[in-house]
């Protein structure tokens, strides 16, 4: 329970998370990419052709934007036959894993306090 919040998350972990978040926000800070996310968050994986339809942009430009979203972990591509389909990945972080990693990190801090306590 409680020790999870007992000590501060290490600075490097926080910095790494900030970098990830910065990447996500940067990826979303573009009208075209935001509209792609809007299309994809309805759940159906779409091909590049489908995503290009109705857009003034070329297939190439759309692909470039999709790659940016993909590298930020917001969408992922799935190979279907000869073409790639893109789908929205609403959780760039795996909830349970993140949580267990966090508790695990808290134990590191708590056990190091125990260590100084018994060795001191």
Partner 1 sequence: MMNSVIEKRIELKAPVSRVWRALTDYREFGEWFRVKLDGPFVPGQMSRGRITYPGYEHVKWEAVVQKMEHERLFSFTWPHPKSLDKVDYTLDYSGEPTTLVEFRLAKTASGTLLVLTESGFDKLPGDRRLEAFRRNDGGWTEQMKNVEDYVSKYVSENHVAHKP
**Which residues of this protein are in contact with partner 1, per CB under 8 A?**
1-7, 9, 17, 21, 25, 28, 34-35, 37-38, 41-42, 54, 90, 93, 95-100, 102-104, 107-108, 110-111, 113-119
Measured distance CA(63)–CA(45) in Å, rounded = 14
**Closest separation between CB of residue 69 and partner 1, Å?**
12
* CA proximity to 46, closest of 86, 82, 77, 81: 86
Comparison of 82 and 89: residue with beta carbon closer to partner 1: 89
**Closest separation between CB of residue 13 and partner 1, Å?**
9
**Closest separation between CB of residue 60 and partner 1, Å?**
23
Comparison of 60 and 116: residue with beta carbon closer to partner 1: 116
Total H helices, total E strands in the chain = 5, 3
Measured distance CA(9)–CA(30) in Å, rounded = 31
Comparison of 81 and 119: residue with beta carbon closer to partner 1: 119
**Closest separation between CB of residue 37 and partner 1, Å?**
6
Comparison of 81 and 95: residue with beta carbon closer to partner 1: 95
Measured distance CA(36)–CA(31) in Å, rounded = 9
DSSP H or E stretch at residue 33: helix 31-40
């Amino acid at each position: 329970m409680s020790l999870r919040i007992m000590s501060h998350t290490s600075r490097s972990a926080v910095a790494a998370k900030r970098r990830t978040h910065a990447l996500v926000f940067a990826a979303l800070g573009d009208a075209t990419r935001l509209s792609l996310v809007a299309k994809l968050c309805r759940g159906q994986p779409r091909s590049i052709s489908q995503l290009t339809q109705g857009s003034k942009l070329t297939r190439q430009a759309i692909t470039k934007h999709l790659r940016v979203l993909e590298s930020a972990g917001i969408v992922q591509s799935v190979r279907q036959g000869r073409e790639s389909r893109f789908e929205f990945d609403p959780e760039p972080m795996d909830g349970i894993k993140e949580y267990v990693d966090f508790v695990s990190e808290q134990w590191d801090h708590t056990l190091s306090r125990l260590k100084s306590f018994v060795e001191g």
